[in-house]
Amino acid sequence: MSLLALNSPLTAVPEFHNLLNQSTTMSTADIKKLIPAHPFLIEAAEVHEILQTSGLTLHELMQKLIPIAQELSHPAISQYKVGAVGLGESGAIYLGVNLEFTEFPLNQCVHGEQFLVANMKNAGETGLVSIALSAAPCGHCRQFLNEIDDGQSIKILIPNRSPLKLSELLPDSFGPQDLGFKGGLLNPLPMLEANHACPVTAKALQAAQQSYAPYSNSQSGVAIKTRDAQIFTGSYLENVGFNPSLSPLQTALVALFVAGKDYEDISEVVLVEDLAPMISQAAITEQLLKSVAPEAAFKLEKIDLPQRQWRIQKCGNTSIH
């Protein structure tokens, strides 16, 4: 029997939303003692151990992790702390927070749910089962979540409400299928060879090959090297609504924060993209890097990347421009 079946209140208690309202003796401080020092990823085995120790159900634990996630956010502009807690198909729990960048356009902020999905993508997670939030997700994030394969079935857990499916929060949605594609933001991609003399560029190349870019086919990846010689990577993640897409630097910054690092730790950033991409990440990557880590070096590498064959569906009468 799976971890979900053993611990999910959906299988044991019909009125799950009433269970969330029940008080419990486990405080936030108690929960902190049971989780890793950097709790952005709690492996399935650790989740099971925490449930056994605490006596909480899986979804109760997810709800209690929200304020812990909020404490880790970086809302430099709004001062509004967002925390998102997601359950992966593997049984692992992931946290997401909002990242805001001062002196930079608001549309470059990373929403909590976007951080969560980028965190899952970076960790190799293949699906999002449910997500716990302190309030309903904004429209931007609903659209972003809809890019995940079978995203409409993701359960949204909000205090004092029955569990909802994303389809209930995003009716009459515009999704990948409307442009002739099947969504698969978290679907695993085959790892291709990424040989390069420079280890930082090699990591950026590997990240580029893991891009989800069905609409522009413009793969790109970023590698961040820190002052202690660690390397963190991020892949370009597209969205059918275009605007909710995440740049490779944004997803690499997610990896940086998951590891407990900060902007001042960045010493070098390498961006790898195709020789002649439909869209380039170079300008926005360099600008954002200057905003968050002005002393860091930036290098652009143009490489002939193998093109992915994205799964395409017939569009019927849909007109694609």
Active-site residue, from 113, 125, 147, 273: 113
Q: Quick check: is 103 catalytic?
A: no
Q: What is the dihedral of CA 130, 133, 139, 145, to 10 degrees?
A: -30
Angle of helix 282-292 relative to helix 248-258, nearest 10 degrees? 40
> What are the phi and psi torsion angles at 159 (to 5°)?
-55, 140
| Sign of the alpha-carbon dihedral angle for 139, 145, 146, 151 | negative
- Amino acid at the residue 199: P
**Sheet with strand 93-97: strands edge to edge:** 41-42, 93-97, 83-88, 128-133, 155-157, 164-165
Helix, strand and coil percent figures for the chain, each rounded to 5: 35, 20, 45
Which residues carry out catalysis? 113
